[in-house]
C-alpha cells in the first residue's frame, strides 16, 4: 500500500544512500520530493514505475523538487520514457544503483554521483524553506494515499479507476 512521510531534511549523504538502498532491497520505487517546503518520502508500495501512478504523478507535479529511485534489478539505468514524459520542462532526478541523473522531457541533462545529487537536493531545500506549509503537504499526501490505496484495491477495475483519477466524469467513483 501507499505510504508517505514528512521528514526533517536528510542530514547526510549516508541518509540519502540509505533511502536508495532500501528502495533496492524492497524492490519499491521511492520518491523524494519537496512539497510546500517539506521534504517528503513517498511510495505507491510497488516496484512499478512510480510515475505510472496518477496519484503519485499529481504530487510530483506540485513538488518544488522531485526525485525517485529505480529499484528493481532490471530497472533502466537513468530516466525511463515515462519519467521523461512526466517531467515535462521541469528538471527531475532519478537515483539508480550506479548514478544520479537530472532529466527533463528532452532526456538526460546531467549525470552525477550521489554526492552531486545530495548537493542539488540541499540547494532546493534551502530555496524552498520560506514556503514551508506542513498542513498543505499533509493534505496532498492524504489524498495520494487514499487514491493509491483505492487503485491497489481496484483489481480488475484499475482502468476505470485511472479514468476516474484523470477526471473522466462518465466513470463512477470507485471505493474500496
- Tell me what pLDDT residue 9 has: 65
Integer angstrom CA distances of residue 72 from 6, 29, 57, 96: 24, 8, 20, 9
Contact 161, 151 (CB under 8 A): yes
- Per-position pLDDT tens, the chain of length 176: 788 888 876 666 667 777 777 666 667 788 899 999 998 888 887 767 787 788 888 898 899 999 988 866 656 678 888 888 888 899 999 988 778 999 999 999 999 998 899 889 889 988 877 788 999 999 999 998 998 888 878 765 555 545 544 554 444 444 43
The pLDDT, as a whole number, for residue 157 is: 55
Cα separation, 108 vs 90, in Å, equals 12
pLDDT of residue 5: 85
Are 119 and 13 in contact by the 8 Å Cβ rule? The answer is: no
Tell me, what's the pLDDT at 8?
75
pTM: 0.78
User: Torsions phi, psi of 73, nearest 5?
Assistant: -55, -30
Amino acid at each position: 500500500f501507499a505510504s508517505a512521510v514528512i521528514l526533517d531534511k536528510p542530514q547526510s549523504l549516508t541518509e540519502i544512500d540509505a533511502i536508495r538502498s532500501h528502495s533496492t532491497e524492497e524492490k519499491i520505487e521511492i520518491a523524494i520530493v519537496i512539497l510546500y517546503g517539506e521534504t517528503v518520502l513517498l511510495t505507491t508500495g510497488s516496484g512499478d514505475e512510480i510515475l505510472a501512478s496518477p496519484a503519485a504523478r499529481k504530487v510530483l507535479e506540485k513538488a518544488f523538487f522531485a526525485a525517485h529511485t529505480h529499484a528493481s534489478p532490471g530497472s533502466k539505468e537513468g530516466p525511463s520514457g515515462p519519467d521523461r514524459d512526466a517531467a515535462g520542462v521541469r528538471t527531475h532526478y532519478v537515483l539508480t544503483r550506479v548514478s544520479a541523473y537530472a532529466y527533463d522531457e528532452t532526456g538526460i541533462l546531467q549525470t552525477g554521483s550521489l554526492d552531486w545529487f545530495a548537493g542539488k537536493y540541499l540547494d532546493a531545500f534551502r530555496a524552498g524553506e520560506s514556503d514551508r506549509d506542513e498542513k498543505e503537504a499533509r493534505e496532498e499526501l492524504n489524498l495520494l494515499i487514499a487514491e493509491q490505496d483505492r487503485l491497489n484495491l481496484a483489481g480488475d477495475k484499475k482502468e476505470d479507476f485511472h479514468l476516474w483519477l484523470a477526471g473522466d466524469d462518465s466513470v463512477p467513483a470507485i471505493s474500496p
